Amino acid sequence: MTQIVKMQGLNKHFGELHVLKEIDLSVEPGEVVVIIGASGSGKSTLIRCVNGLEEYQSGQLLVDKENLLPKGASQKGLATIRKQVGMVFQQFNLFPHLTVKKNIMLAPTKVKEVSDTDAARLADRLLDRVGIATQANKYPSQLSGGQQQRVAIARALAMDPRLMLFDEPTSALDPEMIGEVLDVMRELAKEGMTMMVVTHEMGFAREVADRVIYIHEGRIVEEGKPEAVFDNPQHERTQAFLARVLKH
Amino acid sequence: MESTFQFDWQAAINSIPFLLKGIPYTLLISFGGLAIGFALGILFGLLSINKRWFMRWPATAYIEIFRGTPILVQVLFIFYGLPDLLGGPIDPLTAGIAAIALNSGAYISEVVRGGVQSIDRGQTEAGLSLGLSRTQTFWSIVWPQAFRRMIPPLGNQAIVSIKDTSLFSVIGVGELVRQGQVYIANTFTAFEVYFVVALMYLCITLSLSVGLRMLERRGVANI
Ligand SMILES: Nc1ncnc2c1ncn2[C@@H]1O[C@H](COP(=O)(O)OP(=O)(O)OP(=O)(O)O)[C@@H](O)[C@H]1O
Ligand SMILES: [Mg+2]
């Protein structure tokens, strides 16, 4: 099967700082890959390379057969990739000047030139799917954090992506709202969505991930099935990291 | 010397019809100039945050020059200086509108820059990640939010520019102050006439303030 994401020897620098080092990583269709690691290890940077929000300096990155070149990736290639790749951010990044429904309709109408009526119908269907059909005409600021993040997921799904990127989607949420967002993600995974998820929710990772990747200082030091990584980590860095996070 | 001054209400009232003739000029110079200034402000404000230096540099130069010199000098330069260059006279109304446009444009550029930069990067990233182009992301996501934040400083600039037009009496545009001066030359009722002139400015600026506050309340309710 052809991979949706294929990184080979990818290196990324922020000026002097070498943030990603020789990353080799492939993601198969339907796979859920969870990326874990300490703060500052490069998790966000890694998934932000996948939709070109970050440039990289050397190596190779193929996303859905499009070649995302380092520095100066062609705008056309980028646009093609971004249509296929949805992203959910830690801070939701909903558009505060648009209603929930308009947030979801924006990209289909602007990018795919879907008609307003079709986009509205699509928005209703997606809001129903993430369990907030009744909030369609509210503004983001009128919703709880958990609801906002579910809208953000619906907004990304509206482009019918082949791959979804999640960057700590529950880290900005009050504890009682984490569950509702993870439920939506679990549901997505079950339906066969390909996902790359950065999270500190180890329970979710263990249950939903097909593969867990541990990053330390910009390098993949361990990867494998969740049981293998969580129960029998090989690298001492991984052991130390897990000992720290699993205690909480 | 004992002052026996008495405010002459009749003189004040009598001056009103003559002074009112200046208001259309005051409004035309203010709002005509501000409309062009707004266009200049968007253009140069956006250029001033461009990544490329050769786009940024002219914008910065324009902003610094017109913020750093007095508007009185600017209008004198346009009205008395430019004709030498152009080889023909400029009418005072055009000179006044041009001065307000160029001057307010520099300040509005800064308002635009500040407004756009105040919008979180995450908004742009969200737009791009959905497949919108940079242009689409800017005009449908960043600009509407930035514009709402720009309303109070834009209102402030409008008030400043309206008051600035009073300086243009020096080039002989028949605006409010000029009308006052002409009237006083015949009646010698400076106190009363300037009092009425001041009231007229206040009426214009206050109605603008109230209007903007209403607009702001409606716009911000959604954010
Ligand atoms: N725009 C940037 N400019 C310079 N350095 C950056 C930038 N973004 C991230 N970095 C640095 O790159 C390194 C990796 O950052 P990254 O955000 O990918 O880490 P992370 O694993 O996602 O951390 P966290 O768990 O805190 O989100 C960090 O040292 C960070 O300070
Ligand atoms: Mg991060």
Under 8 Å between Cβ of B155 and A104: no
Q: Quick one: what percent of chain A has pLDDT higher than 90? A: 90
Burial track B90-114 (b if 16+ CB lie within 10 A, e otherwise): bebbebbbbbbbbbbbbbbbbbbbe
Minimum CA distance residue for ligand 1 atom 18? A42
pLDDT of A64? 86
CA distance A164 to B130: 11
Taking every pair of Cα atoms in chain A, the longest distance, rounded to a whole number of angstroms, is 56
Ligand 1, closest atom to CA A48?
Answer: 18
pLDDT of A16? 93
- Residues with C-beta less than 6 Å from any ligand 1 atom: A 14, 17, 19, 37, 39-45
Give the model confidence (pLDDT) of A60-71 as tens digits: 999 987 778 776
Q: Cα–Cα distances in Å, from B121 out to B127, B138, B177?
A: 10, 11, 47
Q: How many CB atoms lie within 10 A of CB A185?
A: 25
Identity at B1, one-letter amino acid code: M
pLDDT over 70 (residue A1) = no
State the Cα torsion B46-B48-B53-B58 to the nearest 10°.
Answer: 110
Please report which confidence band the pLDDT of residue A72 belongs to, taking 50, 70 and 90 as the band edges.
Answer: low
Q: What is the mean pLDDT of residues A128-152?
A: 96
Under 8 Å between Cβ of A85 and A163: yes
Q: Which residues of A are less than 8 Å from B140 in CB distance? A: 106, 110
Residue B136 lies in a domain: yes
Nearest to A34 by CA among A207, A221, A247: A207
Task: Quote the distance between the C-alpha of residue B187 and its chain's center.
Answer: 32
Minimum CA distance residue for ligand 1 atom 22? A44
Q: DSSP code of B48?
A: T
The beta strand positions in A15-53, using DSSP E, are 17-27, 32-37
CA distance A10 to A26: 12
Q: What is the ipTM of this complex?
A: 0.94
Task: Quote the distance between the C-alpha of residue B180 and its chain's center.
Answer: 22
Give the model confidence (pLDDT) of A156-199 as tens digits: 999 999 999 999 999 999 999 999 999 999 999 999 999 999 99
Distance from CA of B131 to the nearest CA of A (A): 5
CATH of the domain at B157: 1.10.3720.10
CA distance A150 to B170: 62
pLDDT over 80 (residue A248) = no
Residue B64 lies in a domain: yes
pLDDT of B66? 98
The answer to whether the Cβ–Cβ distance between B122 and A93 falls below 8 Å is: yes
Residue B211 lies in a domain: no
- Residue A77 token pair: 């290639």
- How many domains does chain B fold into? 1
Residue of A nearest to B142 (CA): A95
Residue B69 lies in a domain: yes
Residue B109 lies in a domain: yes
Residue B92 lies in a domain: yes
Which of helix, strand or coil describes residue B137? helix
Task: Quote the distance between the C-alpha of residue A153 and its chain's center.
Answer: 10
pLDDT of A80? 87
Q: Is A86 on the interface with B (CB under 8 A)?
A: yes
Q: Is B131 on the interface with A (CB under 8 A)?
A: yes
Q: Is A166 on the interface with B (CB under 8 A)?
A: no
Mean pLDDT of all residues belonging to chain A: 94
Please report which confidence band the pLDDT of residue A229 belongs to, taking 50, 70 and 90 as the band edges.
Answer: very high
pLDDT of B167? 96
Please report which confidence band the pLDDT of residue A245 belongs to, taking 50, 70 and 90 as the band edges.
Answer: confident
Residue B108 lies in a domain: yes
Return the residue in A97, A102, A196 with the most chain B beta carbons within 10 A, the one to mutate for interface testing: A97
Residues in chain B with pLDDT values less than 70: 1-2, 219-223
Minimum CA distance residue for ligand 1 atom 27? A39
Under 8 Å between Cβ of B176 and B26: yes
Residue B189 lies in a domain: no
Q: Is B132 on the interface with A (CB under 8 A)?
A: yes
The whole-model pTM stands at: 0.91
Q: Is B129 on the interface with A (CB under 8 A)?
A: yes
Nearest to A37 by CA among A248, A206, A194, A245: A245
Which residue range(s) make up the domain with B82?
25-173
Nearest to B103 by CA among B180, B198, B24, B167: B167
Phi-psi region of B110 (alpha: psi -120 to 50; beta: other; left: phi over 0): alpha
pLDDT of B78? 96
Nearest to A107 among B122, B132, B144 (CB): B132
